[in-house]
Structure 1
Amino acid sequence: MSILGSNLAKCSNLSYFYLYLQNQVSIGSDVMKYLGHEIAKYPKLKELYLDLSQNNFEENQQQNHDSGDQLNNSLKNLTILLNQNNIMKNIAQSLDFSFKQFTDLLSLKIELKSNQIEDEFFIQLTSQLATQTKLQTLILSLERNNIKASLSQNLGNGLANLKCLSTLDINLSENGLGGNDIFGQLQLAKLTNLTNLKLNLMHNNIGENGTKALATYDNNIQDSAFELAQSLTNCSNLSNLTLWLGDNDVEKNMNKLYQLYALIQKIVHSLNFLCFNIMIDIIMIVCILVYKLILVWQTVCQKQKNQQNMIFILNDLV
């Protein structure tokens, strides 16, 4: 990595950087810290793509990569793939370091599929998400991990701070989370600028209580799934919604899910009906204006005709 860094140091005009290091025998656990330190040196870098999947991160002595006040505010798009790794505490510290280097991210994609994520890593990840307040697009792939139910609150707290977020794609499938801990704490109602939302919660233990709690962001369990629609009404800009809820033992509450679907349809129909009524009103106003213009035109024509008749009469008298 040091050889790569020394060679890249000559590329001062680097705008796009794609690094693939998957399927390596072993990588030091401070690799993210090193990359964060090196990448901060490129003032024109706009997009960074790092694929470090399927590696065995070895815990080694942390080297001092002090960057001082060196920040990178040119980077807008960041993708980090850490799939199928043994994520350790040191990796969490390195990732924390890397995020601090980038102050103006607009798009962030993180894939952590099939990892046994440690609590500290998840807590550090979600806390760093909260600092990226300019994010507009966030994609998190956290499927097939052993994420504790108590940690979902950390994720919700991180998301709630992203007020500029317009696109959110979260995959929490195959984590064994309970519904109360997923829906009650994601705080989606606070993301009022969302236009695109994808939420994959397949193969979790949502159950009946989970479907009742779909919409609540303060973990207050409601009596029905109607609260989901009510919660999403705060997201007034939402135009695309995709939910995956399969294999969650929700059979007992399917009737309420159908009711929820019917309610969403009614909301959409009401919006369409409202738009239709507005169009009708506009058409009526236009018709009235046209009618009045016709009346004015007829009046003017009639006056002109009367004037002509008067002229003819006067001529006859003369």
Structure 2
Amino acid sequence: MFENMNYIKDMYLNLASNKFSTSSIKALSTQINNLKSLTQLSLDLSDCEIQQAESEALSEGLQKITNLQKLSLNLNNCQLGPKGMSNIGHALQMLTKIQHLQLELKKCNIGSKGGKSIGNGLAKLPFLKHLFLEISQNDIGVDGAKGVCFGLVAVPKLIYLELNLSLNYLSSKGLGYFGEVISKLKNLKVLKIDSDRNMLGPDGTKQFSKQLEKSRNLNKLQLSFRSNGISNATQKLLTDVTEFIQNKTIFFE
């Protein structure tokens, strides 16, 4: 499909809601990594039944596009599982020039081990400045949250961070890990977090709020903590925390 098209630098490819065999994914990956000038890639394979074997074929192709600076990969509603996520995480480790990453993994059954694989991948991206990570409905739990944060703390150049963490059984402890790492990202200007339905409980945002106070360089803050059983007192605490950001955009739901 892409033969003799080595001049292409930016590619958008939407293949959502198709059913691919492992050999088809491997062929696609081979075609893409033949584009030696490619620096930006947007690939939508959501609802494509990408599982462990297909993810391995995809990983083998992606990790060879070593000049990529911008990657958008949508695997929403693909049953990757922990091993499939490990394959994708390994590919990320090879793409060390990436500055802009959009990774969509909603409802991929990656679990806590998948969260750790994401973290291992992020930890190898020293130039990353913009990250959008959609990992809702994956049951990563506290251990998975800790794994993701292991990667986040290794990318200090982050300016923009957007996380969808909903329905992952994080609890207040898991959310606290994110608060701790965010406080260490001194270049962060924009922070958006969706942590709905994570069983945070009455005191769910206290630790997170205390850490957030240290993020003095934020220009925009957007937080969503719906359906977590948070008490009115805790909601007020989080509202008070945001007051230190004077003349800046704040959204709290």
Task: Give, in whole Å, the separation in 2 of the partners of 1:12 and 1:119.
Answer: 34
Task: Give, in whole Å, the separation in 2 of the partners of 1:266 and 1:15.
Answer: 37
Q: 1:254 to 1:138 in 2, by over 3 A?
A: same
Query: 145, 148, 158: which is aligned to 2:108?
Result: 145
Whether 1:161 and 2:111 are equivalent positions in the alignment is no
5 Å-filtered alignment, 1:269-280, equals: none
5 Å-filtered alignment, 1:1-318, equals: 5=1, 8-9=2-3, 13-14=7-8, 17-24=11-18, 26-42=19-35, 72=36, 74-183=37-146, 185-187=148-150, 188-211=152-175, 213-215=176-178, 228-229=179-180, 231-254=181-204, 256=206, 259-260=209-210, 263-264=213-214
Q: 1:108 to 1:80 in 2, by over 3 A?
A: same
1:137-166 Cα offsets, whole Å, 9 max, x none, are: 111111112112123112111111101000
Task: Count residues with an aligned counterpart.
Answer: 221
Gap regions ≥5 residues in structure 1:
43-71, 216-227, 273-318
Task: Give, in whole Å, the separation in 1 of the partners of 2:90 and 2:193.
Answer: 25
Larger radius of gyration: 1
1:26-75 Cα offsets, whole Å, 9 max, x none, are: 53322232123334444xxxxxxxxxxxxxxxxxxxxxxxxxxxxx2x11
1:151-206 Cα offsets, whole Å, 9 max, x none, are: 31121111111010000111111112213421454222221000000011112211
Which structure is higher in RCO with an 8 Å CA cutoff and minimum separation 6?
Answer: 2
Report deviation, 1:113: 0.9
Task: Give, in whole Å, the separation in 2 of the partners of 1:12 and 1:248.
Answer: 46
SS of the residue 1:164 aligns to? coil
Asked if the contact 2:83–2:114 (Cα under 8 Å) also holds between the matched residues in 1, the reply is no
Gap regions ≥5 residues in structure 2:
219-242, 247-253
More helix by share: 1
* Percent of paired sites with the same residue: 23
Asked if the contact 1:180–1:209 (Cα under 8 Å) also holds between the matched residues in 2, the reply is no
Task: Give, in whole Å, the separation in 1 of the partners of 2:8 and 2:216.
Answer: 51
SS of the residue 2:202 aligns to? helix
